[in-house]
Amino acid sequence: MNIQYPPTILNYMSREDIVGHSTAWKVSDLGAVQYKHNYDPSLLAVIEEKALKLKEEHAFKKHLDLTFITGADRFIPEIKELINDQSRLNRVSDFAGTKLEQYPLSIVGTTVTFMGPEDGSVDWHCDGVPLTELIPLSISDPIEGGHLEIYMNNCEVGKSQVDEGKAISSKDIVTLDHREGYSTLGHFLGVLHRTAPIKFGNRVTLVMNLRSVAKPFVDDNRFFYLAADNDHDESDWIEEMIRDVREKQLPAYRKFEAERMMKTKASELSKRMS
């Protein structure tokens, strides 16, 4: 693959720029970054072509007014090329300032979303996954709507407003226009966002989800998100989750805690000695 460094950055926002205050439940200080990617256009075209063929049978619209194929790499093996692209992982990790890995749960590791007047877009939500890379596969020209809207305040404040049927004021929103050839990497855990409803046109997007290698336990995929958004046999995805907790999340958490305690003890000792 043809690696382009440094990538052209269209937009960059820190997490604090977006939320307006520091947060504790996070894996990175990145908010969102939109940059020119270097993925093979013919690979993306094949992924889109296959996704459109699969749409009828495998895309569904359930939660949040979004039509999408969950666990898209189960049906479109070409997506695995991007999952396994080490230069991609290095780049997103550089942006996040911490090592990232592919999100492991097969139902939400990768998705393909279809947005338009009939397909819907995606309503206000905070992501369950820690980070997401949005790779536009096609954006119609013209398109009316379909840009990303990010709420610039605490997620709970905005979400409760939405749930009470109140509109989010435009002065509290920052927008980001998707562009073909440009990825958006968002750390949208605890960050309220949506796609502006599409009045005309459509967009197809490959969504590749990520998490922190050091802190895989920082995750907001609550049971109802996973239950709402998947077509797997229940015992399979629950088993997959249990396995991940046992084999990855818990050991990482124990290691993190042990290191934190060592650091606390070392700093107490150095205070006592000085």
Ligand X SMILES: O=C(O)CCC(=O)C(=O)O
Examine residue 142 and say whether the peptide bond preceding it is cis (omega within 30 degrees of 0): yes
Q: Which of 127, 133, 149, 229 binds Fe ion (CB under 5 A)?
A: 127
Token pair for 1? 């693959």
Residue 195's binding partner among Fe ion, ligand X, none (Cβ under 5 to 8 angstroms by kind) is ligand X
Q: Say which residues have a Cβ less than 8 Å from residue 62's Cβ, sequence separation at least 6.
A: 228, 229
Which x/- pattern over 74-113 shows residues binding Fe ion (rule: CB under 5 A)? ----------------------------------------
Map the footprint of ligand X across residues 136-195, applying CB under 6 A: 148, 193, 195
Sign of the CA dihedral 235, 239, 187, 24?
positive
Sign of the CA dihedral 104, 52, 206, 121?
negative
Q: Which is nearer to ligand X, 100 or 134 (CB)?
A: 134
Tell the smallest beta-carbon distance from residue 191 to ligand X (Å).
10
- 108 binds ligand X, rule: CB under 6 A: no
Which x/- pattern over 204-243 shows residues binding ligand X (rule: CB under 6 A)? -x-x------------------------------------
- 67 binds ligand X, rule: CB under 6 A: no
- Position of minimal CB gap to Fe ion: 127
Map the footprint of ligand X across residues 28-57, applying CB under 6 A: none
Distance of CA 256 to the CA centre of its chain: 23
Q: Which is nearer to ligand X, 119 or 127 (CB)?
A: 127
Q: Which is nearer to ligand X, 175 or 267 (CB)?
A: 175
Tell the smallest beta-carbon distance from residue 222 to Fe ion (Å).
14
CA angle, 152 as apex, 148 and 156 as ends, to 5°? 100
Nearest residue to 153 (alpha-carbon basis) of 269, 19, 5, 273: 19
CA dihedral 94, 9, 46, 107 (to 10 degrees): 50
- 229 binds Fe ion, rule: CB under 5 A: no
Residue 249's binding partner among Fe ion, ligand X, none (Cβ under 5 to 8 angstroms by kind) is none
C-alpha to C-alpha distance for 46 and 37, rounded to whole angstroms: 17
Q: Which is nearer to Fe ion, 184 or 212 (CB)?
A: 184
Question: DSSP strand E in 37-145: where?
Answer: 60-61, 67-70, 100-102, 110-115, 131-139
Map the footprint of ligand X across residues 109-128, applying CB under 6 A: 113, 122, 127
CA dihedral 178, 190, 121, 93 (to 10 degrees): 40
Residues 210 and 92 sit within 8 Å (Cβ to Cβ): yes
C-alpha to C-alpha distance for 128 and 270, rounded to whole angstroms: 40
- 133 binds Fe ion, rule: CB under 5 A: no
Tell the smallest beta-carbon distance from residue 180 to ligand X (Å).
13
Q: Which is nearer to ligand X, 181 or 214 (CB)?
A: 181
DSSP 20: S
Residues that bind Fe ion (CB under 5 A): 127
Residues that bind ligand X (CB under 6 A): 113, 122, 127, 134, 148, 193, 195, 205, 207
